C-alpha cells in the first residue's frame, strides 16, 4: 500500500503523537479523518493541515462510547469516500498502585475501580470498537486492501503504578495478532507499535530531575520523537507482507 492517496482515520488526533500522525500523513499525500474530545485541538490540527493540500477533517468523538464510534466511522468514511487505514492512537493514563499504605494513618488505600475502568474503556475497548466498525465498512464498501495500526506502549511488559494501562496495552498487542488472523481473508492487515518515552506535551511538564531519571535507563540516552514513531506507522502501511506483529520503538529500553 502507498500512503499517498489513502484515506485514513486517526483517533486522538488533536495533540501529541496523534496530531503528528495526522499532519505527517497529510504531508505524505493521504486524506485524513481524525477524532478527539478536544474541540479547540481539532480546529488547530485542521488549520495546520491546510498547508498540505489533502483533505483533512476532524470529528469530536469519545472512542469509549459505542454510539460515538459507530457515527464516527460512518461519517469519516462518507467524508473521504471510504477508509483504507485506521490508527488506534487515543489513550489516557490514570496511574496508581494496586494497594498502598498511607504513611500518616497506616490505612490501606486501594486503587479505585473507576480509574481502572476509565483506562480500559479508552485504551482497549476503544480500539476494539473502532476496529470492528472499520473492518465492517471495509468489507461492506469493498474498500480493501486495508490496514489497522494499534499504538501500544513499552508499558505492556508491566510498569509499576500502571496496572490498568499495562493491561490495556498488552491486550492491544494480543488483539493485533488475533485480528490479523480474523481479518486477513478480507484483505485487512494489522500491526502494532509500542513506543517508549516520546517527546509529547505530557513530558513537557516533568521536573528536570524526574526527566533525567526517566531517560537514564534508555540506552540511547534520550526520548524519541513523534516523527520516529510515524516512521514505524509508515512502514506498517507500506509493507504489504507485515501483519500481526508489534514493533518496539523505545531506544532499546527494557522494563
Domain membership flag for residue 1 = no
pTM, 2 dp:
0.94
3-state secondary structure of 51: helix
Label each residue of 195-209 as H, E or C.
Answer: ECCECCHHHHCCCHH
* CB of 60 closer than 8 Å to CB of 35: yes
Domain membership flag for residue 254 = no
What is the band of 19 on the pLDDT scale with cuts at 50, 70, 90? very high
Query: Which CATH number do you get for residue 240?
Result: 3.40.50.720
* pLDDT at 206 exceeding the cut of 80: no
Domain membership flag for residue 2 = no
* pLDDT at 50 exceeding the cut of 90: yes
Catalytic residue among 165, 186, 230, 241: 165
Rounded-to-integer distance, Cα 114 and Cα 153, Å: 22
Domain membership flag for residue 100 = yes
DSSP bridge pairs for 96 = 162
Of 22, 90, 89, residue with least CA distance to 56: 22
Domain membership flag for residue 153 = yes
Determine what percent of the chain is predicted with pLDDT higher than 70: 100
For the chain, counts of helices (H) and of strands (E) = 9, 9
Residue 178's domain spans which residues? Answer: 7-246
Report cis status (omega within 30 of 0) of the bond before 36.
no
Of 36, 52, 42, 70, residue with least CA distance to 4: 52
What is the tens place of the pLDDT at every residue in 132-166? 999 999 999 888 899 999 999 998 898 888 999 99
Domain membership flag for residue 255 = no
Domain membership flag for residue 252 = no
Of 10, 143, 22, 150, residue with least CA distance to 76: 10
241 is catalytic: no
Domain membership flag for residue 135 = yes
What is the tens place of the pLDDT at every residue in 32-44? 999 999 999 999 9
3-state secondary structure of 40: helix
* Domain total in the chain: 1
Length of the chain equals 255
Nearby residues of 142 by Cβ (< 8 Å), 6 or more positions away: none
Nearby residues of 84 by Cβ (< 8 Å), 6 or more positions away: 1, 6, 7, 8, 138, 143, 144, 145, 146, 147
Amino acid at each position: 500500500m502507498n500512503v499517498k492517496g489513502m484515506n485514513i482515520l486517526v483517533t486522538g488526533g488533536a495533540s501529541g503523537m496523534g496530531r503528528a500522525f495526522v499532519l505527517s500523513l497529510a504531508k505524505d499525500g493521504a486524506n485524513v479523518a481524525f477524532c478527539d474530545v478536544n474541540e479547540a485541538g481539532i480546529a488547530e490540527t485542521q488549520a495546520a493541515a491546510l498547508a498540505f493540500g489533502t483533505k483533512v477533517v476532524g470529528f469530536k468523538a469519545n472512542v469509549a462510547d459505542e454510539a460515538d464510534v459507530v457515527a464516527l466511522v460512518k461519517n469519516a468514511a462518507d467524508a473521504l469516500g471510504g477508509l483504507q487505514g485506521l490508527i488506534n492512537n487515543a489513550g489516557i493514563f490514570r496511574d496508581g498502585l494496586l494497594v498502598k499504605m498511607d504513611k500518616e494513618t497506616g490505612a490501606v488505600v486501594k486503587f479505585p475501580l473507576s480509574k481502572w475502568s476509565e483506562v480500559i474503556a479508552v485504551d482497549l475497548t476503544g480500539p476494539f470498537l473502532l476496529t470492528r466498525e472499520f473492518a465492517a465498512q471495509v468489507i461492506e464498501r469493498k474498500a480493501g486492501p486495508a490496514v489497522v495500526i494499534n499504538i501500544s506502549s513499552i508499558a505492556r511488559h508491566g510498569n509499576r503504578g500502571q496496572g490498568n494501562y499495562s493491561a490495556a496495552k498488552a491486550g492491544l498487542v494480543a488483539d493485533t495478532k488475533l485480528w490479523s488472523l480474523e481479518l486477513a481473508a478480507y484483505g485487512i492487515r494489522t500491526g502494532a507499535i509500542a513506543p517508549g518515552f516520546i517527546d509529547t506535551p505530557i513530558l513537557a511538564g516533568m521536573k528536570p530531575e524526574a526527566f533525567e531519571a526517566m531517560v537514564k535507563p534508555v540506552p540511547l540516552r534520550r526520548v524519541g520523537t513523534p516523527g520516529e514513531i510515524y516512521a514505524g506507522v509508515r512502514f506498517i502501511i507500506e509493507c504489504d507482507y507485515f501483519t500481526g506483529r508489534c514493533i518496539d520503538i523505545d531506544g532499546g529500553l527494557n522494563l
